[in-house]
Chain A
Amino acid sequence: MVGTTQQQAGHADGIALAFRRTRSRRLWVDRLAVYGLSLCAVLVLLPLFSILYGLMHEGLSAVNVDFFTKLPKPVGEPGGGMANAIAGTLVLLGIALAVGVPIGLGTGIYLSEFAERRLAWVIRFVVDVMNGIPSIVYGIFAYTLFVVPMKSFSALSGGAALGIMMIPIVTRTTEEFLRLVPNTLREAGLALGAPRWRVITDVVLSTAMGGIVTGIMVALARVAGETAPLLFTAFGNRFWHENLTQPIAALPLQIFAYAISPFDDWHRQAWAGALVLIAMVFVVNMLASYFVARQSRILSPKK
């Protein structure tokens, strides 16, 4: 601004001043926003550290050899462990694997290798919806499907509920990783005269194996801590289960029962159980992310 008269110059100064003022205010707002946003990130992480601290502080002292080898003691008797619950959780996860992996894997392969577009859209949509259904609804479903006809709570019904919950996760990760396999590999297999199913099993699946295993592990880690679908399927058991058609103990159920009990000793056991459960979940998750990193290195296009 070049003012020729006194008045114009004054006017220009005024504008410049106003501009400087709003500019400094805008810069202040900008600065405040940085602090505000960083504060949000801190607030998000605060509960995580509080939970980890609680687990270490309350749980670590109660995790000992007895915890992994003994049955729970009755109220008032100190000591005892959660051996049956840990074993029960492993059994339930085994059943869940047997139910969830074949269906999830098959659906994922279908979506990536065979599906016609519109059909794939429908199935993908259904899988997404499945992922959003509350876990307790799966519990009711397994109850009506298994517990009512068998007239007993059972390991089978609990494992089936968890297995169904695994399906959406396994399906989506399988599909994603199969899509990463370059088409040239499939074409090379077909060009050698291999039938389509051989190309899928020997070329596509074996290339994407790391990713598929990852998906299964992520799904496993997610259902390992599920409590709600087990409440009226696996039901819980204070003793060892004898076969799969009986109620069975599970770590999350035991944590729940002990946490809402009025006894200090049981509270400590609940924290210890939570520590063991979370250690299992975190280790599986970390292994999974290691496999993901490796798999994406293998599949990333080489230049």
Chain B
Amino acid sequence: MTGLAFFVVFIVVGIFLQLTVTAWPSIVRYGAGFLGGTTWDPVFHVYGALPFIFGTVVSAFVALLIAIPIGLGTAIYLAEYAPWWIRRVVSVFVDLLAAIPSVIYGLWAIFVLVPIMRTTVQPFLQKYFGFLPLFQGPNYGIGMLSASVVLAIMIVPFIVSVSREVIMAVPQVYKEAAYAMGSTRWEAVSSIILSYGKSGIIGAIILALGRAMGETMAVTMIIGNNVTISSSLFSPGYTLASVIANEFAEATDAIYLAALIEIGLVLLLVSVIVNVVARMLIWSVQRNSKPVTRTA
């Protein structure tokens, strides 16, 4: 039994070693320049991952900007405001949203979201916020912004469910104290809950960030898959995960494959770091909230 349990440790270490070993030719040949290079040219064996790192970070960041207020708002609504039957129904729907496979989000995005972005959202942004470099350039519909919107939709369920739990864990006495001081419901929620549950909510957000950066299919289907670094969110981009998805099966020579696996290694390391940080934060909340509940 102990041996079986250590199998999971073995798997995680195995993934790390296996990826490092198979990516080794590329690690040795390109060194640190791999992460900073902006050219990706399999024909001449020039491999730089910066456009993909840029695309991954920017799309995940914009997705968080969209998802955090909406997700947090929903979590607060469900935990503090909603009558029990709405809470039940909405929770079921949010769970369904989390259960939809990524490829179906991609399908929906291609045929429903992208046309809306092209005909309505992006012209609107261009007209009123076009002075910002973010919203300039040709409007294809597919591109970084559409990918970010899909990512936001996909990570919202995680933000809602984790931060709802964090909010529910805030001891009732604190809220009651706020009410006794004459605060309105919103004042109690915004001051007590958000400050008390802050690190837990940040943990939820970082967890969502990890999800967003590793997400593959939906992003690959609408980000445009173009190796470029552009200041415009309308521009097509590329992410670490989507370059692997698109090119891996076609990578015939050894160094090309090694470069793609090195990108996988970068993705693995980033997601492990992000997850460890998020878990630490969530744990710290759970530890802190326990003694207070007991005395209450």
In the docked arrangement, what's the CA distance between A256 and B107, Å? 8
Contact between B77 and A37 (Cβ–Cβ < 8 Å)? yes
Question: Does A278 belong to the interface (CB within 8 Å)?
Answer: yes
Determine which of B6, B99, B221, B276 lies in contact with A285 in the assembled complex, contact meaning CB atoms within 8 Å.
B99
Contact between B104 and A255 (Cβ–Cβ < 8 Å)? yes
Determine which of B1, B78, B96, B101 lies in contact with A41 in the assembled complex, contact meaning CB atoms within 8 Å.
B78
In the docked arrangement, what's the CA distance between A55 and B104, Å? 9
Q: In the complex, what residues of A have CB within 8 A of residue B22's CB?
A: 144
A40-79 CB mask vs B (1 if < 8 Å, else 0) is: 1101110110110011001000000000000000000000
In the docked arrangement, what's the CA distance between A125 and B90, Å? 31
Contact between B261 and A144 (Cβ–Cβ < 8 Å)? yes
Q: In the complex, what residues of B have CB within 8 A of residue A267's CB?
A: 111
Q: In the complex, what residues of A have CB within 8 A of residue B100's CB?
A: 48, 51, 225, 278, 281
Q: In the complex, what residues of B have CB within 8 A of residue A55's CB?
A: 104
Q: Total contacts A to B, CB within 8 angstroms?
A: 238
Question: Does A224 belong to the interface (CB within 8 Å)?
Answer: yes
Contact between B210 and A132 (Cβ–Cβ < 8 Å)? yes
List CB contacts (< 8 Å) of A128-181 with chain B: 128-141, 143-145, 164, 167-168, 171
Contact between B103 and A256 (Cβ–Cβ < 8 Å)? yes
Q: In the complex, what residues of B have CB within 8 A of residue A171's CB?
A: 8
In the docked arrangement, what's the CA distance between A110 and B185, Å? 45
Q: In the complex, what residues of A have CB within 8 A of residue B186's CB?
A: 29-30, 33-34
Contact between B101 and A227 (Cβ–Cβ < 8 Å)? yes
In the docked arrangement, what's the CA distance between A138 and B16, Å? 11
Which of A7-15, A185-193, A206-214, A228-236 has 4 or more CB atoms under 8 Å from chain B?
A228-236
Q: In the complex, what residues of A have CB within 8 A of residue B82's CB?
A: 41
Contact between A228 and B217 (Cβ–Cβ < 8 Å)? yes
Question: Does A109 belong to the interface (CB within 8 Å)?
Answer: yes
Separation in Å of the A171 CB from the closest CB of chain B?
A: 7
Q: In the complex, what residues of A have CB within 8 A of residue B71's CB?
A: 40, 44
In the docked arrangement, what's the CA distance between A255 and B82, Å? 37
CB nearest neighbor in A for B15:
A141
Question: Does B264 belong to the interface (CB within 8 Å)?
Answer: yes
In the docked arrangement, what's the CA distance between A122 and B12, Å? 12
B85-107 CB mask vs A (1 if < 8 Å, else 0) is: 00000100111110111111111
Which of B43-51, B230-238, B243-251, B285-293 has 4 or more CB atoms under 8 Å from chain A?
B243-251
Separation in Å of the A46 CB from the closest CB of chain B?
A: 9
In the docked arrangement, what's the CA distance between A281 and B69, Å? 29
Contact between B216 and A252 (Cβ–Cβ < 8 Å)? no
Separation in Å of the A104 CB from the closest CB of chain B?
A: 9
List CB contacts (< 8 Å) of B196-225 with chain A: 207, 210-211, 213-217, 221
In the docked arrangement, what's the CA distance between A132 and B267, Å? 11
Contact between B99 and A228 (Cβ–Cβ < 8 Å)? no
Given A107-B7, A225-B102: A136 in contact with B244 (beta carbons within 8 A): yes
Given A44-B156, A134-B271: A122 in contact with B73 (beta carbons within 8 A): no
Question: Does B252 belong to the interface (CB within 8 Å)?
Answer: no
Contact between B74 and A140 (Cβ–Cβ < 8 Å)? no
In the docked arrangement, what's the CA distance between A225 and B105, Å? 11
Question: Does B4 belong to the interface (CB within 8 Å)?
Answer: yes
Nearest 6 pairs of A and B residues by beta carbon = A225-B101, A134-B214, A40-B73, A106-B4, A132-B275, A110-B5
5 A–B contacts from the bound complex (CB under 8 Å): A51-B100, A128-B279, A133-B15, A167-B11, A278-B100
